[in-house]
């Protein structure tokens, strides 16, 4: 059984940064693709980017380029997403999700991390 366990909820002020983690277990971490997807009230799901098994990273350029950074630590089987210059419309539940074979759909999801941006 694949498990993706994410870090806890965060409350941040506008302009700050947040870093969310996702720890994978019970599968070979470096053989799968991991995505970040967020779900915002009233805006639905938004795909943010992907970390390939090779370590290569591709971020949804139009929407997130320049404000979103993704990374991974293979020694702890953990991936990260960091969002900087937070705005109120970054308030969302952030999910990591595993991709079956690089097809860009998601067979396992983390439990989600609520990030609230509020002054």
Partner 1 sequence: ETVLTQSPGTLSLSPGERATLSCRASQSFSSSYLAWYQQRPGQAPRLLIYGASSRATGIPDRFSGSGSGTDFTLTISRLEPEDFAVYYCQQYESSPWTFGQGTKVEIK
Q: Which residues bind partner 1 (CB under 8 A)?
A: 44-47, 60, 62-63, 95, 100, 103-112
- Token output for 32: 């799968």
DSSP code, position 58 = E
DSSP code, position 63 = H
Q: How many residues does the chain have?
A: 119
Closer Cβ to partner 1, 35 or 72, answer by number: 35
Closer Cβ to partner 1, 28 or 103, answer by number: 103
Dihedral Cα 91, 46, 79, 14, nearest 10 deg: -20
Beta carbon of residue 25, minimum distance to partner 1 (angstroms, whole number): 16
Closer Cβ to partner 1, 18 or 50, answer by number: 50
The CB density around residue 14, as the number of other CB atoms within 10 Å, is 12
Beta carbon of residue 93, minimum distance to partner 1 (angstroms, whole number): 9
Beta carbon of residue 17, minimum distance to partner 1 (angstroms, whole number): 23
CA 112, chain centre distance (Å): 9
Closer Cβ to partner 1, 52 or 109, answer by number: 109
Beta carbon of residue 109, minimum distance to partner 1 (angstroms, whole number): 4
H/E segment holding residue 21: strand 18-25
DSSP code, position 105 = -
């Amino acid at each position: 059984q694949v498990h993706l366990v994410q870090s806890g909820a965060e409350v941040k002020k506008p302009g700050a940064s947040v870093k969310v983690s996702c720890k994978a277990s019970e599968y070979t971490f470096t053989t799968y693709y991991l995505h970040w997807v967020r779900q915002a009230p009233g805006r639905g799901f938004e795909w943010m980017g992907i970390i390939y098994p090779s370590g290569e990273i591709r971020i949804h350029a139009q929407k997130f380029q320049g404000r979103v950074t993704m990374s991974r630590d293979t020694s702890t089987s953990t991936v990260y997403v960091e969002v900087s210059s937070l705005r109120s419309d970054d308030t969302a539940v952030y999910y990591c999700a595993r991709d079956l074979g690089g097809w860009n759909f998601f067979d396992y999801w983390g439990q989600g991390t609520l990030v609230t941006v509020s002054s």
